[in-house]
Chain A
């Protein structure tokens, strides 16, 4: 266990990001923190993501990458189960199936293995190399992503008037246990717990700690900051929710106004969210779009059935034997090498 510079740096950066709106909103710059920065961040988010996507889509992929973990389609009498089709898809429908499992259930992560040398009685001179399945990262990731999705979908209540039918439904399921007033949302708690696990994992495991960069810690601290400020705002330092909704609806109807009397904690929450949005396209978080461009996942393994042409360069420039003979005829003749065409030109 230990902190390193990257970790300190990220924590420090998020603390500064909390202080900026704290000072700014206290100084009365509500228009900047409530309107200008959110619009700017939203624009950077969308434009940046589209830029990234177009750039990826224009990058040629030279060849198909077959996955070997399932039976490829071959002779008709070789049985292929549904699992084989999803592991080693032969057409677009199967690819969509594989992609859906990946996006919705993080299947690759589910197969996460741990490799470790363990002391073993039968191997007294060394350890025995063991592989076993570890699901902790998968559980943490699933918990984080799904709770984030639920929190985000509940936030629609601030941006829509009237509130769409599914939001109250999600809310009532999320506050099922009816603990405390305002009722505690499970997703908010799960979000924070999962984030803390993902952070502690990086700090406590020496191997991971060594591998982790500021770009890994910063998003975790940032989203943790968003979650903590949100939870504080909901349960402890109340803000005027009706005014917050007026601000949010004004933003999405392009009639921006800042109602009076929203607490500073709201501006901290909103500024951290704006930072996240603006940072998103240039960070590792852009895997949200990138997963769909993951070549080992999005290509059918039909190399043996369909001819694929490398888009870099076609027709391929070749240097045939005749080209070589034409180029070096004189020298070859001098060396006494037999020639196909013995012309003297």
Chain B
């Protein structure tokens, strides 16, 4: 039996079965490979010639400039804020809305009123050059601004009425 099998294999080998020379339907296969390559290479090609620059949120708002050098810090340490500010915000919201607590003690023992518009955006009044710098870079669109206002001063002055 093994011999019979070997004979078949030998015969196939003679016909060149094990040594295929070309691709069948080569044109279509190459189109397929090009599509695969284009899909994989998309992020590479998309970024060609662009320098990868990290966003630089600006912290030179009037409210922050008024603070003394030593006080020029956020509610929590900067590395924590960078990564966890959205957690902090929901924590604030839950405390305000569900427990009617409005005072928050920061890491410097300073007390803040827990409010998105009146505290965060008081210091960071430059929404477009601060929050949005990072968010646009990271492709994030927080859905808070259907209810809250991200430019409270302009809103209060009636400048934003027409804008969405």
Contacts and interface: CB of A to CB of B under 8 A. Distances in A.
Interface of A: 42, 45-46, 49-50, 53-54, 57-61, 156-157, 159-164, 167-168, 171-172, 175, 178, 180-183, 238-242, 245-246, 249-250, 252-253, 255, 259, 261, 289, 292, 311-313
Given A50-B33, A54-B29, A183-B143, 12 more contacts: A46-B36, A53-B36, A57-B24, A59-B24, A159-B47, A171-B139, A171-B141, A182-B140, A240-B83, A242-B138, A252-B47, A311-B24
Contacts of A164: 46
B70 interface: no
A180 to B, nearest CB: 8
Contacts of A60: 17, 20, 24
Interface stretch (B49-57, B96-104, B118-126): B49-57
B164 interface: no
Contacts of A182: 86, 140
Interface of B: 12, 15-17, 20-26, 29, 32-33, 36-37, 40, 42-44, 46-48, 50-52, 54-55, 79, 82-84, 86-87, 89-90, 134, 136-141, 143
A75 B40 CA distance: 46
B32 A53 contact: yes
Q: Which 5 A-B pairs have the closest CB atoms?
A: A157-B139, A159-B43, A58-B20, A163-B139, A57-B23
A166 to B, nearest CB: 11
30 contacts: A46-B37, A50-B33, A53-B29, A54-B23, A58-B22, A61-B24, A160-B43, A160-B47, A161-B47, A161-B50, A161-B52, A162-B136, A163-B136, A168-B139, A168-B141, A171-B139, A171-B141, A238-B84, A240-B79, A240-B82, A241-B83, A242-B134, A245-B137, A246-B52, A252-B43, A252-B47, A253-B48, A253-B50, A261-B79, A289-B32
Contacts of B54: 242, 246, 259
Contacts of B87: 181, 238
A82 B26 CA distance: 29
Contact of A242 (B15, B50, B55, B84): B55
Contact of B15 (A246, A261, A312): A312
A236 B87 CA distance: 9
B84 A156 contact: no
